[in-house]
Amino acid sequence: MAKTAADTIYVLNGPNLNLLGTREPETYGHATLVDVEKLCADTSAKFGLKADCRQSNREGELIDFIHEARAKEAVGIIINAGGYSHTSIALHDALVAVRIPTVEVHISNIHARESFRHHSFTARAAFATLAGFGIDGYRLAISGLAAKLGIKARA
Ligand code: CA2
pLDDT at 155: 77
pLDDT of residue 1: 47
Q: How far apart, in whole angstroms, are the C-alpha atoms of residue 73 and residue 4?
A: 5
Region of 105 on the Ramachandran plot (φ > 0 left; ψ -120 to 50 alpha; else beta)? beta
> Which atom of ligand 1 is closest in space to residue 24's alpha carbon?
20
Pocket test for ligand 1, best of 110, 111, 121, 135 (most atoms within 8 A of CB): 110
Question: What pLDDT score was predicted for residue 49?
Answer: 98
- Average pLDDT per consecutive 10 residues, the chain (155 residues; last block may be shorter): 74 98 95 98 98 98 98 98 98 98 98 98 98 98 98 91
Closest ligand 1 atom to the C-alpha of 83?
9
Smallest CA-to-CA distance from 88 within 56, 62, 126 is with 62
The binding-site residues of ligand 1, defined as CB within 6 angstroms of any ligand atom, are: 16-17, 19-20, 22-24, 28, 80, 82-83, 85, 106-108, 110, 117
pLDDT of residue 4: 63
